[in-house]
Chain A
Amino acid sequence: MEIVHVYSKLRSEFGRQCLFSDRPAELLLDLPPDPSLTLSFIQKNHRDQAVQACWETSEHQLNTERFETGSCGINHMEGGWPKDINPAEMEQTIRFRKKVEKDESYINSVLQLGSVMEHCIRQNNAVDIYQECFEDEEEVEEIQEPPSAKTVNVFRDPNEIKRTVTSLSWQPDGGRKLAVAYSCLEFQKSSKDMSLDSYIWDIENPNRPEMMLKPASPLVCLDYNPKDSHTLVGGSYNGQIVFWDIRKGNQPVEFSSLEHSHRDPVYKIIWLQSKTGTDAFSASTDGQVLWWDVRKLAEPTERLVLDPSREGNLDQALGAISLEFEPTMPTKFMVGTEQGLVISCNRKAKTPAEKIVCTYDSHHGPIYALQRNPFFPKNFLTVGDWTARIWSEDIKESSIMWTKYQMSYLTDACWSPVRPSVFFTVKMDGVLDVWDILFKQSDPTLSLKVCDKSLYSLSVQDNGCLVACGSQLGEATLLEICSGLSTLQKNEKSLLAAMFERESKREKILEARQREVRLKERSRSEQSREEEVGREEGEEDPKHLIARAESDFYSLVEAEVKRREKKDEVMKEKDICEEKDVKDEEQRGTSE
């Protein structure tokens, strides 16, 4: 029903002035409620709705730009002397002092103050408030709090063009300083403007590096001398070894000659234990491991070619990416190669052929980290491709423990120097994982996303509490691990020893079983060969293998395609049926 109000005006009255007058209200329309309409409405459930009459607020977080602070001391100058007295003149000052001491109010106040002072001093002497009352009591069981870590500091590369942090080294004896090596490892990506410097940072001051090291070519790896915390040795991108003494400035004291150095970037350099404390050895992807005496870097003292066939042939040599050296076993060392092989070597062997003791076929890709467990030197950790593996020296076939395949590439790992069952790994997605194998073996105990780009290197300080990891953008992040993961737990060593033993035994049994199976097969094939002399060898050469693989592949693909076609047909039929159903429903709807 339309509500309409009609307003009419005579034409002759157009333009006339408006004469307003009052009139009583006129009822135009009265719509009473229609109870039948309530049937199309449902009453809503009562709901409590809070309303507040106040102004709207919102919360925002801001991060200000980096504010550079510096701390400096102020020298207090003497002041307060009245104008006519020259503080430098002893006579005048003494005279002034004597005058003040004779003043009555001075005497009174000092007497008063003196009594208060005496009271305080006597208080101190009466009770020793620093006494340890509960020393003898045993430590209470700690409440297991969830593991955590917090970022303490971030050290950013001050140059504009950011380089990757390829290596970190803590200063020995306390570790207030962190040496960080920066270089660009991506093939041909380093620009001419890229700075060549590497820095030593004081962990308290993230604004400015404490010291800059200026090599001739960017450093790929860096190591502090464990015996002398002022000397460092570094391996650079062009294969040279460089030696610094911080007391002598930031230019290298000595560097190795180009002819005798490595021909590829030096990926790892480690100080050795020796009487003179000046020996180091380095490894590079050119397939050599060179020993150096830092006093005479013109030539290496020894050379080892990583040729698995033990012929010393440089062409067949495997490129080395990581090195491992444990001061408790000075004659043995291990090398991790680009091809995924770990080579265990003996330094004291008489002939170069004997230097290579054995190999472990470990990963599908380069082995980026290799380290023995500081508490159980017979077991070592390797990291490469997408897993981390723990090995026992005696078992060469396979690792005794391994993590499952992770989502991204693992780039570095190290054991905790304090807890034998804890190790840290860093990945290409910027995540730092802390694994505690006594607690959980399938997943890391703690997983922290440190940065968005990939993390390249990792180093733990000797106290096991501070971890530094370096990223692709030149940021070195310093994290503090919670005390639960950095203090030795009860029985940890024995439990871990039992675990390693158990796993090694398992591997040994598996190995033995495999050997048996192989032996049986061989004996069987030998028997069959004896019976049928004229038959060809069962081995297929590569061409046949390829042909077979191709035919297998195609037949599989065809089978899959056929299966999919069948599925599509079934789906189409179903669709048609569904469409029919829908149409039926519509028809039914409109007819109602």
Chain B
Amino acid sequence: MGEEVEAQMKRIEATKGVIGTLVVDPDGVPIRSTLDQSMTLQYAGQLRQLVILARSAVRDIDPQNDLSALRVRSKSNEIIVVTALVYIQSPSKV
């Protein structure tokens, strides 16, 4: 199963126009990233807040609704954030 994930991630990273990818766990810890350390940390920190805000906005308007994807288009590039409600259990807690 791990290989499927790998394969998928590689596919995404190889797609045209993709500059970098980042996988973050619910605590904000970056699990996997193709960017350098400082950029990873910056994105992880900034985007977490934005996602929380966006999610609360969507759910305030319609409680049945939920955030599926968040796209931030800027002058130079676009950041796509995709989120899941199912939280990953942190191994240490298990």
Contact = CB atoms under 8 A, between A and B. Distances in A.
A113 B11 contact: no
A76 B24 CA distance: 15
A551 interface: no
Contacts of A103: 88-89, 91
B68 interface: yes
Interface string A74-109: 001011111010000000000011011111111111
Nearest to B28: A80
Given A82-B90, A120-B69, A121-B15, A113 B84 contact: yes
Given A80-B27, A99-B91, A120-B71, A125 B17 contact: yes
Contact of A101 (B11, B32, B90): B32
Contacts of A81: 27, 29
Interface string B5-34: 100110110011110000101011101100
A124 B29 CA distance: 28
Contact of B2 (A79, A101, A117, A120): A101
B88 A100 contact: yes
A113 B5 contact: no
Contacts of A97: 31-32
Nearest to B48: A80
A121 B81 CA distance: 11
B86 interface: yes
A259 interface: no
Contact of B28 (A79, A109, A120): A79
A458 B45 CA distance: 47
A291 B80 CA distance: 61
Given A97-B31, A102-B2, A110-B5, A117 B12 contact: yes
| Majority-rule SS of A interface residues | helix
A114 interface: yes
Contacts of B69: 116-117, 120
Interface residues of B, number: 39
B58 interface: no
A97 B2 CA distance: 13
A112 interface: yes
Nearest to B86: A109
Interface in B20-58: 23, 25, 27-29, 31-32, 41-42, 44-46
A118 interface: yes
B61 interface: no
Nearest to B68: A116
Given A78-B41, A81-B27, A125-B15, A104 B1 contact: yes
A114 B18 contact: no
Given A120-B69, A120-B80, A124-B17, A107 B5 contact: yes
Interface string A382-417: 000000000000000000000000000000000000
B46 A76 contact: yes
A82 B92 contact: yes
Contacts of B41: 76, 78
A122 B32 CA distance: 22
B8 A105 contact: no
Contacts of A82: 27, 90, 92
Nearest to B11: A118
Contact of A125 (B16, B27, B80, B86): B16
A358 interface: no
B4 A76 contact: no
Contacts of B60: none
B15 A106 contact: no
B45 A76 contact: yes
A549 interface: no
B51 to A, nearest CB: 12
B17 A107 contact: no
Contacts of B29: 80-81, 96
19 contacts: A76-B41, A76-B42, A76-B44, A80-B27, A81-B29, A97-B31, A100-B88, A100-B90, A101-B32, A104-B1, A105-B86, A110-B5, A114-B9, A114-B12, A117-B80, A118-B8, A120-B69, A121-B17, A121-B80
Given A80-B27, A111-B4, A121-B18, 7 more contacts: A101-B2, A113-B82, A114-B9, A116-B69, A118-B15, A120-B69, A125-B16
Interface of A: 76, 78-82, 84, 96-97, 99-118, 120-122, 124-125
Give 9 nearest A-B pairs by CB, closest first.
A80-B28, A80-B27, A76-B45, A99-B91, A114-B8, A109-B84, A80-B29, A113-B82, A106-B88
